[in-house]
Structure formats: C-alpha cells, structure tokens
Amino acid sequence: MMNVLLPILSEPQHFSGWERAVFGALAAASLFGFWRRFGPILGRILQSKKDPDFHLFPIGRRVRDFVWEVMFQAKVIRERPLAGVAHALVFWAFCAFALVTLNHCATIFGLGFLDPAGRLGRFYFDFAAFFAAACAVGILALFVRRFLVRPKWLGAVSWESGLIALLIFALMITYLAAFFVPGTSDAARALWWAHTLTLLVFLPLIPHTKHLHLVLSPFTVFLSRGGFAEIPPLADDEDFGLVAGKDLTRLVSLQAYSCVECGRCMEHCPANSTGKLLNPKEIVLGLRGYLNEYGPHSEEPLLGKYNAQEAAFECTTCGACEFQCPVGIEHVPIIVGLRRGAVNTGAWEDDHGAKLFLALERGNNALGMSVAERDKFVEKNSLPLFDGTQEYCLWLGCMGAYDPRGREIVVALVRVMRYLGASFGVLRKEKCTGDPVRRLGNDLLFQQLAEANLEALKQNRVRKIVSICPHCVRTIQEDWKAYGTPPEVEHHSEFLARFAHQLPPIQDQEKIVFHDPCYLGRYRGVYEEPRRVAALAGTLVEAPRSHERSFCCGAGGALVFLGEEKGERLSHVRAAELAATGASVVGTACPFCNTMFRDEFATKGEGAPGLMDIAQLAARGLPD
Amino acid sequence: MKIVVAIKQVPERDAPVRIAASGKWIDEADLQWAMNEPDAYALEEALLLKEQAGGEVIVVSAGLERVGSTIREALAKGADRAIHIVCDDLNGRDALGVARLLAAAIQPENPDLVLTGLQSEDVGLGQTGVILAELLGLPHATMILHVEKTDAGLNVKRELEEGWFQSIELPTLAVLTMQSGGNKLRYATLMGIKRAKTKELRTVSAAELDADGAPTVVLEQIAAPKKQKSTQILPGSAKEAAVALVEKLKTEARVL
Amino acid sequence: MSVLLVLEQSDGKIKRASWEALAAALRLGPAESITAAVIGAQTAALAAEAAAKPVGKVVRVEHPLLAQYTADGFCAALQQLIQNESPTQVVFPHTYQVRDYAPALACRMGQVLIGDVVGIDDGPLFTRQLMQGRLNGSYRHSGNGPCFVSVQAGAFRTDGIDASATAGPAPITTFTPTIDAAQIRCKPGEPFRGSEQTVDLGSAQRIVSVGRGIKEAQNLPMAQELATALGAELAASRPICDNGWLPMERQVGSSGQTVAPRLYLAVGISGAIQHLVGMKGSQCIVAINKDPDAPIFEVADYGIVGDLFEVVPALTEAVKAAKQ
C-alpha cells in the first residue's frame, strides 16, 4: 500500500570529500554555536543551589507524568485543543524525525543505516513522512494563529517565533520533497543540502529562543517537585527563601529556562485578568532575565530589576498558572519563595500584613478576635467538646469560629452531623492553622503555629479532623508535615458526600451553580463530592469556568487580610459570572469564598442569587 | 544614641483570667505571655531612632525566667542586647519597688534616652516610667507618640485629652513613656530570630541589684467586677428607647 | 486627719473631674478636713470657684513659673505645699496631667500613687481596675507618709456637692513656692489639633457608623445630624463606601480603618466579621438594627431593635435635649 502512496525517498548516493569537509565544518560550527549559548545556561542551572528536598525516587510518578505530559502532550492539548493538537503534531514529528535526522547526517559519510528501498527503511520514512505532513500543516496553523489571529497572551509579535516556524516548515518540506525527485538527481542533492543547512541553522538557534524548551522541558517535567503548589522546606539556618540569585535552586532555574512563553498561566491568572501588575509568565521570565544578567551566585535582590515586590504580593495562590503549565513550571512555590525572601527578612512593609502577623504573634486567630467570642459561640450552640473519645474532631477554623457566616455554616454542618448520628466534638481551643502566614512566606510564625497545633492535637488525642475550610484542610494535611505528623483530615464536602444517600433531598428544585474553591478543586482534586451534596437541594448548572478552571474568589494567598485590591475586584468578576448563569443559588464550600461573594451580592440588591454553603444546602432537607 | 527600653511581659491579652486560690493575684498556670503592647511601641520608636541616627538599643525586663522569651522577641525585632533582672516576686513590689530595680540596672549603662510603655496591660498603673525618671534624676514626659532628635535635645509629640496634642522640648537625657499607636509595629522575622541567638542577654538577680522592695502600697485582694459585659437591649418605642439610651450613655457608660 | 485635694484647671475654669475628686475626698473625711489647692500664675478666680464648694479651706499655689503646666514646676510646688500642710491623704483627679507628675511627686516623698481609683471602701481600701477592666483590685496604703490617690473620671458622682456646700465660702490663703527657672527642664509648646485635612477616624472619640440598613445615599444626612449632635465623626461599613456614598477613608473594617473610640454607634450594620475586626476595640458599642439576630448585638453594650429611620431622629432629639 505504501508503495502506492509514496515513492521511495531519494538520497544522494555519493558525496565528495570536499562536501564532507564543508559539512563537517558547518556541523562543528553549528554545534559550537549551540553549545556557546546552551553551555552557560546549563552551567547556571547546575551551579544553582541544590534542592534540599529533591528525591529521584519514587520514580514511578515521574515516569507517569513524563509519559502523560510530554509524550502524550496531555496538558498542551487539553487546555487549548486546536492549538494543542497542532503543537502535538509538531512534537511527535520531532520525535519521529529523530532517527531520520541521525540517518540523514550519517549518509554523507556513507554511514546511513536506514535503506530507503528496504522494508524497514521504507516503512520508517513513510511513517516520518506522515508526521512531516502533519507537522507542516500544524506549524502553518500555529503560524497563522500567532501572526494573523494574535491572541494577546502570546505577547507581542515575535520575529524569532516566525523564523523558527519557517525553519521547521522548511525542514518538513525539504524532507517531503525528497520523495518526489529521483535519488541520483541534482535536485536530490540540493534538497539534501537544503535540509541539512536548515537543520544546522536551527540547532544553534534553539538555546537563543524559547525553543530551548525542546531540550529542557522533558527534564523539567520529569524532575518536577510533584504534588501541586508544594512549598519546599527551607534548607538551613541561612535560608530565608528566594532573596537573591544564590537562593535559586536548580529546579527553579531549570523551570525559568523552560518557559515557552505560551501565556496559558497569564491567561488563567485572576490577578492578571483584573488589571493587577502580577503576571505569572513575567515572574518566570523575570527570573530568567535575572539569571542571564546576574547568575546563580548573585546577592542582588530578586525583587528588584526583573520582578516587582508588588506583583509577588498580588497572588492569591489559586494555582491556575501551575495547573496549566505544559512544561512543568511550578509557579506557586516560586511566588511563595519570593514572598518568603521578603517577609523572612523583614523587607516587606505592609500595614495589613504586619497587623495579621502581630495578631497571630499575640493571639490565636488571624482576625484578631478575642477567644471569648469563640467560647461564647460554642456555648450558645451547645457544640459538644472533643474529649478524645469521639471519632471526628470538628475543626472550626478562624472563619467558622468568628465570622457570622462561617458560624452559620458550622451550625448547619452540626445539624447534619447530628442527624447522621456522627460522633464528633469541637476543641476547647484552636490556634489558626497558619494558612495565611504560610502563603505569605512567614516561616517563623508558621512554624510556631504548626508546632503548637500539632502538639495540642496530639495531647487531645485527635485522630480525624473534619473542616469546613479547604485552606485549613490543605495546611493541616500538607503544610504541617514539615513539623510533624498531622492527623487525618478531610473537607466537609467529602464527609457529606459519603453520607449523601442518607440525607433527604428537598422537593422544590432550585437552580444551583457550584463555585469550585481553589483549595478544594485544583489543590485537592475534589470536584464531584460537593456537587453530589449540592444536588440534594436543586439542579446543578455550571459556570463557564468550573472544575479545574474555576476562577478564584480573591481571598486566597492571605489577600483577604491585605486590604483593598488594585484594579477590578476578583470577587466582583467571579460573582458576576456566577450570577450570569441564571442560577437562583450560588453554592460554596469555603467560608472565604462565601464571605467574598456575600459582599458582592449584598450590593446587588434584590436580583442577586442566594448564597449557601453545601452544608446549608444539605441541611435544608432535614426535618426541623 | 544609646537607648534603653524597659519592657514587661504580661499575660496574653485574650487570656482567660482566673483568680488564684489566695485571692491576691490571678492563676498563672496555662497562661500565655506576650510583650506589653505599649512597650512594643516604645521598642519600635527606639529601633526607628537607631535606624535614623545610629546607636544602640538595650532592652531591660524584670521577672521570672519565662520573661526570657519576650526579651528574645525584642532582640529578634532589632534590639542589640538585653538585661534580664531575674526577680521571683515582681508582683510583691509596688511601682516604686519595680522602678528601683530597673533604675539600678539602667544607671550603670548611662543611656541617652530611656523609653518605657505608658502602662502595663495587666496592672495598668502607668507610673513605673515616671518614677524611674525621678530615681534617675532625669526629666520626663508621658503619653508620647513621636520622638525627634534635635540639635538641642529632643522634640516629642505628646497626646492630650480630647484629641489635642502638644510638642515638648527637653534635653536628650530623659525618660519618655510611650503611648500605643504612634508608629506601626514591625513583625518578628525569621532572620531576626536567627540573629537574636548571637546577641548578648545578660542576667542579673534582684538581690545583686540590692534595690529596696518593701511596698508602701499593697494589693490586698482581687475580685471579679460585679457587672459583667452583656448587651442591654433598650425596649419601647423609638422615642422611649432613644431617651433611655442617652441616659445610659451619660450615667452608666459615661461616654457623653 | 486631713485631705489635700489638688484641683485642675482648663481655660481658667476648674475641670469637672476635679469635682468628682472632691466627691471622692468627701468619702475620706468631712468637708472641713479638706484643703483644696489651685495651681497657676493667676488663681484668684479659680480659688473663688473652689471656695464655694464643700471644702475646709482653699490654698492658692501661685508662682509665675506655674503659668503653664510642667511636671518639674508642679512637683516642686506641691512637694513644698505637702511639707507645709502635712495631709494624711492627697487626692487628685486622674487626668493626663496628673498621670504625668503625680507619680514623680509621690516618689519624692517615698510613696506610690494609687491611681485611677473607681471606688473607696472602709479602711480605706481603694478599688482600681486590673487586666483591662476584667478584674478589680483592692489596695491599701501601708507606708509612713501621705497616701496619694487619683480618681477615675466618672467614677464618683458630683450630684451631692453643691447641695452640701457649707454656709459661706471657705477661707482662701496663698502659698508661694520657691521655684527656680533652672529646675524646669521641659519646654512645653501650645496645644494643637490633629491634622484637619484627612479624616482621622483613629483619633475620633465618638463615631456614628452606617451600614446597608441606611438603604440610600439620600438618607445619610439623617445620620450626619446625629453625628453632629454627638460631636462624632461619620463612618461606614464597606458596602456604603463601595457605592461611593461616603469616601473610602471613612470605611471601618478589615480593609479600612481600625478604630477604638469611646463611643461607637453602629446604625443599620449587621456585624460581619470584616466590620467587627475594625471596631471591636471600642469602649462602648451601641447597635441600632431592625434584625434582633444581627451579629452586631453580640458585641454591643447597648442595642435598640427597631427601624433606624425612626430611632435615629429620636436619638438626635434626645441627645440635643440632654445637652441643655
């Protein structure tokens, strides 16, 4: 069949010594050009500080991620399907072409190992031809997208991208054309040289452009930290976070050089889309610029010429950037690392931030409220106290203990738990889990809170925690690990979903739109459980951006404690999006989301949708 | 400029207060401790003056061993060195007795300026700083919000009643008691705590200082106040409630 | 036994707090045992005012260097007076001025001031507040020498004072202390107000704060009238400022200002956490809301459950009436 589709690939049979010499010289020059640029980059990466918590094993996860994200191009395709497939074709073509290129260069020395007339050779060359055609189509489509359609997150018109596209196109065309000329002709020779020259020009350009990701990104994905938005431990007593170049670790440097500038992080960044200075792409490229100018041993502050402190503190740590990144860049630890550098050294001077830190230095909760208020709430609602015998410890958190709306959520959850006959209790005293100070990079305060809490939980013999707040859940389960072994913890949506079948649904079916909290969805992968619970009280509709694309409410990253935002308010944007679905109720699963939207819907007046936590939705069907 | 800041460790603001069996003081078991807030403002002012004009900030505090944690917090925030007057029975001394201890420790340092907080959050006498000035033979000013160093000495901003303020000029060798809120407090940082480990923290016992502690004023007994805070909802029509409210605000709350 | 009562003046008149101190002094001894002292450079009018009250005698402590208050000047003068009079107790009103010099004065005489007293019982035992008002402590003076006491404003009622004035004015004498200009080490300046341009809610003693219950911008003047009558600043919760009805600098809450005035009136505010954290330190909180379950009532000292459009005007009337 193949014989019918394509003729035999032509290959010049004989090359003169002069040709070989020229090829040798050009190849040497090309490789030299490549190394001249790539060598220092590799040097900068390898000379960066070692990552204190890097473990090559278990390797299974790494292999899995590599296969899924690199070989299958899963992330690339999923978020931008058309462009993603086009790119995938180009990538697969490059993979397929590996042997072809090798063979191509070997032929000038008579060392070609793939015979175009032989069965294996024929098959392989035809196979590559299919990809070459797909690649040519793909690259054409991407060219049109970048230069004619011009989506804004690709940035300004980039001539280097055009050049690279042209070279790739030329590579594919020169390859395909070689099927249609006789092997001994001058045309074949010309095509061979055209293909070779294109190749030799392309090679040194790779490290000069973002196409360096061709070389680096497979490693970046393979070597990534794993998990999601994981904040690494500080290395030693002299480590205060990402203060200067000398604090950048190998992984961070590798990631900085891997950025493809695709702009997906920027596209999904809620801060960026509401007029703030923060742009995750620029944060990463800023590190690259810094490394190029100052290198990995520099004492020059990272927050200076290439990155602004203001931008680093506009991040809600929603993780949409990191979640999207097709080359494995982990933005959240980078941004938190920059914050650590500013906060642990006292360089960050912010009134609201200082107030938050002082409130937690001197007291128990992030809101600066008196503990007596929590005691009154517990007493007034007759919440059972945890005495070590109950199965669950119901963790109130700062919002559940002090915020009127948070308290309503707790009261509703308690109603449901009692109805289910669950055995639970509330601790007499709680300290803030430390989530806001962790995301702001205050390691001193976080350590104090984590250690105090772990000790208290141990003394109280807590084994299982249920919490209404995804931030508490995340901090307890992941962030406290650096200081001890936390008890099991789950979010109340997971608890309620387990027993949803025992809860009576209600008859009047409202339209409910569920807003995925960042720390429950992207951070924990929990999307279906809260929906199962919400479905008890109505029919679900989805917001345009839902599940892993959910748009942040704006409270995360301690931003809810930091005062007025610049630009448009995130909660405003998201609240409008949720209201526009036509739902009569917005369902939330995080007390912070709840409080952010409460203000928004309050100013809207009569037409605004109702706002309920899933615990309240679950409680609706309960007999009074 | 050599500045001495006298700080006190007090029970955490939110701490539940239980009266000890003796009835003479609160039960200190289970309490968490913090730096007295006006003293934190005094420390902040001292650190700002040091940052502007150079010099040294020394913190002094009297009390049990646990006071060490508050002293280290002060070192972490930027004080250069500290003196801990180890004293078992601080509560048994009156303000004069406490001031005598502080004066004995501070005098040999020959500071240019001594700052204290306006009053403590536990006993709230507001006198120790003033008495300290008297014992050291130095001029003083109270309720200070800002300190500025001038060629002639100091120019300070003092708070008066009803939203008024006053500037006072005094010579550099002086004692000032600082009001809360004049500055923004800085937070303790990881870097500060690490550095604090190498700073000098000298301990001296109250006995060594040989400061007379016999009190002239004795706290006989403590008790819970009869009226607890509870919300009084004023009933009746709008007019009746309004009149009743004004009466309460005048006579009970005394804010009108 | 005798009581020396130190009166404080403001703008040529004796301050009300001084009369409350007199009421306290009257608990320690009869009117005849009380010597009232007025201090300044020209004290004739002050002395006359004091002489009309129930005191045994009035002493004019006069010296040109006492024209303006200084700690050094007042301490020097009063120390000499006390040595002259040898009272068993010295009573002051607990004012900012007294807090500035009385401890030093007591120290000079080997004593300690029992300050900010809210009650006097037999003994005498003096009651003062500890732990920010959460506890009361009973103090006893045990040294040799005068007992120095200062009295909290508003703790003692002055109702009975004019009525119990003795038949005629008390005798007035003058005492001239010896003070050298070199003794006065501080130079105080003229009092001034805080900056007028920016709204400094932080230093306002009284605040009337409006929330969503006010419904519309055109209802604000009603709240402003109440604020004016109370001599209070107008503030608001976030939604009001978001709507542009009041400038952002009048916002009280986690993203606005944190305030701790003596009186905070929350009108039509439900009491969300973002607002509470901004005002929970207020000394006296009054809430007016039509919802009896509004969280604001949890932190309020006084509350009126009702329609604010009726309550606020009624309150303005009542405040104006009380001032007369």
Q: Which CATH entry fits the domain spanning A370-497: 2.20.25, 2.160.20, 1.10.10, 3.40.50?
A: 3.40.50
> Average pLDDT in the A58-74 region?
93
Same domain, C18 and C63: yes
Q: How far is CA A515 from CA A415, A416, A525, A574, B85, in A?
A: 23, 21, 14, 9, 57
What are the pLDDT digits (tens) for A121-149?
Answer: 888 888 888 889 999 998 888 888 888 88
pLDDT of residue C194: 66
B224 within some domain: no
Q: What is the four-CA torsion angle of A59, A63, A68, A69, rounded to 10 degrees? A: 80
Q: How far is CA A38 from CA A84, A101, A209, A215, in A?
A: 27, 21, 11, 10
Phi-psi region of A379 (alpha: psi -120 to 50; beta: other; left: phi over 0): alpha
State the residue range of the domain holding B245.
230-256
Contacts of A560 in chain C (CB under 8 A): 254
- First-last CA distance in chain C: 40
pLDDT of residue B104: 95
Please say whether the beta carbons of C17 and C95 come within 8 A.
Answer: yes
How distant is the alpha carbon of residue C290 from its chain centre? 33
B191 within some domain: yes
Number of domains in chain C: 2
Give residue ranges of B with CB < 8 Å to any A CB: 12-14, 16, 34, 37, 184-194
Which pair of tokens denotes residue C291? 């919802």
What are the pLDDT digits (tens) for C301-321?
Answer: 999 999 999 999 999 999 999
C192 within some domain: no
B219 within some domain: no
pLDDT higher than threshold 90 for residue A12:
no
Same domain, C110 and C212: no
Which pair of tokens denotes residue C175? 């005492």
pLDDT higher than threshold 60 for residue A20:
yes
Say what the pTM is: 0.87
Distance (Å, rounded) from C-alpha A449 to C-alpha A443? 10
Task: Show the CA angle centred on residue B7, arms to residues B97 and B84, nearest 5°.
Answer: 75
Same domain, C106 and C236: no
pLDDT higher than threshold 80 for residue A296:
yes
C46 within some domain: yes
Residues forming CATH 3.40.50 domain(s) in chain A: 370-497, 505-620
Looking up residue C136, the CATH number of its domain turns out to be: 3.40.50.620
Please say whether the beta carbons of A219 and A56 come within 8 A.
Answer: no
How many CB atoms are located within 10 Å of the residue C94 CB? Answer: 24
> Average pLDDT in the C297-304 region?
90
B216 within some domain: no
Q: Which chains touch A (3 or more CB pairs under 8 A)?
A: B, C
What are the pLDDT digits (tens) for C19-78?
Answer: 989 999 999 999 899 999 999 999 999 999 999 899 999 999 999 999 999 999 999 999
> Touching check for A399 and chain C: CB below 8 Å?
yes
Distance (Å, rounded) from C-alpha C67 to C-alpha B221? 41
Same domain, C46 and C107: yes
Q: What is the CATH number of domain A505-620?
A: 3.40.50
State the sign of the Cα–Cα–Cα–Cα dihedral C103, C108, C112, C113.
negative
Contacts of C68 in chain B (CB under 8 A): none
Whether residues B234 and C297 touch (CB distance < 8 A) is answered with no
**Residue for token digits 């900030």?**
B57
pLDDT higher than threshold 80 for residue A564:
no
B218 within some domain: no
Side chain identity, residue A47? Q
Looking up residue B98, the CATH number of its domain turns out to be: 3.40.50.620
**Residue for token digits 């526009």?**
A580
Q: How confident is the model at residue C198 (pLDDT cuts 50, 70, 90)?
A: low
pLDDT of residue A106: 85
Contacts of A237 in chain B (CB under 8 A): 194
pLDDT higher than threshold 70 for residue C83:
yes
Residues forming CATH 1.20.950 domain(s) in chain A: 2-222
Alpha carbon of A254: minimum distance to chain B alpha carbons (Å): 28
Contacts of A594 in chain C (CB under 8 A): none
How many CB atoms are located within 10 Å of the residue A455 CB? Answer: 12
What are the pLDDT digits (tens) for A388-419?
Answer: 999 999 999 999 999 989 999 999 999 999 99
Which pair of tokens denotes residue C69? 């208050």
Whether residues A346 and B192 touch (CB distance < 8 A) is answered with yes
- The ipTM value here is 0.88
Please say whether the beta carbons of A367 and A359 come within 8 A.
Answer: yes
Distance (Å, rounded) from C-alpha A382 to C-alpha A426? 10
pLDDT of residue A1: 45
Side chain identity, residue A428? R
Of A206, A318, A198, A316, the residue nearest A260 (C-alpha): A206
Q: Shortest CB distance from B222 goes to which of C130, C306, C317?
A: C130
Whether residues A369 and C298 touch (CB distance < 8 A) is answered with no
B223 within some domain: no
Which pair of tokens denotes residue A13? 């049979």
Which runs of consecutive H residues, i.e. helices, occur in A553-590? 570-579
Q: Shortest CB distance from B165 goes to which of C187, C194, C310?
A: C194
Q: What is the enclosing helix (H) or strand (E) of A106? A: helix A81-107
Q: List, in order, residues 6 or more apart from A368 with CB less than 8 Å away.
A: A355, A359, C277
Q: How confident is the model at residue A4 (pLDDT cuts 50, 70, 90)?
A: low
pLDDT of residue C165: 56
In chain C, % helix, strand, coil (3-state, to 5) comes to: 35, 25, 35
Side chain identity, residue A458? K
What are the pLDDT digits (tens) for A471-515?
Answer: 999 999 999 999 999 999 999 999 999 999 999 988 777 899 999
> Average pLDDT in the A51-76 region?
92
Q: Which chains touch C (3 or more CB pairs under 8 A)?
A: A, B
Same domain, B145 and B18: yes
Same domain, C80 and C115: yes
Distance (Å, rounded) from C-alpha B50 to C-alpha C71? 27
Chain C nearest-CA residue for B156:
C188
How many CB atoms are located within 10 Å of the residue A59 CB? Answer: 11
* Substitution target from C147, C286, C291, C312 for chain B, most B beta carbons within 10 A: C286
Same domain, B177 and B80: yes
Please say whether the beta carbons of C235 and C208 come within 8 A.
Answer: yes
B221 within some domain: no
- Return the higher-pLDDT residue of C161 and B248: B248
Contacts of A563 in chain C (CB under 8 A): 254-255
CATH 1.20.950 fits A2-222, yes or no: yes
Q: What is the CATH number of domain A236-343?
A: 1.10.1060
B225 within some domain: no
Of B107, B179, B185, the residue nearest B147 (C-alpha): B179
Of B44, B159, B147, B168, the residue nearest C194 (C-alpha): B159
Side chain identity, residue B30? D
pLDDT higher than threshold 60 for residue C196:
no
Same domain, B157 and B121: yes
Number of domains in chain B: 2
State the residue range of the domain holding C217.
201-323
Same domain, C179 and C206: no
* Substitution target from B161, B183, B247, B250 for chain C, most C beta carbons within 10 A: B161
Q: Which chains touch B (3 or more CB pairs under 8 A)?
A: A, C
Q: How far is CA C261 from CA B40, B121, B163, C228, in A?
A: 21, 18, 11, 16
Side chain identity, residue A343? V
3-state secondary structure of C208: strand
Please say whether the beta carbons of C131 and B122 come within 8 A.
Answer: yes
Distance (Å, rounded) from C-alpha B62 to C-alpha B76? 18
Please say whether the beta carbons of A562 and A313 come within 8 A.
Answer: yes
Chain A nearest-CA residue for C275:
A403
Q: Domain ends where: C141, C156, C183?
A: C183
Q: Checking DSSP bridges between strand B164-170 and strand C187-188, what pairing results, if any?
A: antiparallel
Please say whether the beta carbons of B156 and B167 come within 8 A.
Answer: yes
pLDDT higher than threshold 90 for residue A605:
no
Phi-psi region of A111 (alpha: psi -120 to 50; beta: other; left: phi over 0): alpha
Which pair of tokens denotes residue C98? 């007294």
How many CB atoms are located within 10 Å of the residue B137 CB? Answer: 9
C10 within some domain: yes
Same domain, B243 and B122: no
Side chain identity, residue B237? S
Q: Shortest CB distance from C301 goes to which of B19, B231, B246?
A: B231
Alpha carbon of A544: minimum distance to chain C alpha carbons (Å): 27
Q: Domain ends where: C154, C183, C212?
A: C183
Distance (Å, rounded) from C-alpha C225 to C-alpha C205? 17
> Average pLDDT in the A354-361 region?
91
Side chain identity, residue A608? A
pLDDT of residue C35: 95
Same domain, B247 and B131: no
pLDDT of residue B9: 96
Whether residues B187 and A354 touch (CB distance < 8 A) is answered with yes
pLDDT of residue C94: 92
Average pLDDT of adjacent 10-residue blocks, chain B of 256 residues: 96 83 88 92 96 95 94 95 93 91 95 95 92 96 94 91 85 93 88 92 90 85 76 91 92 83
> Average pLDDT in the A436-457 region?
96
**Residue for token digits 């606020």?**
C312
Alpha carbon of A313: minimum distance to chain B alpha carbons (Å): 17
Looking up residue C242, the CATH number of its domain turns out to be: 3.40.50.1220
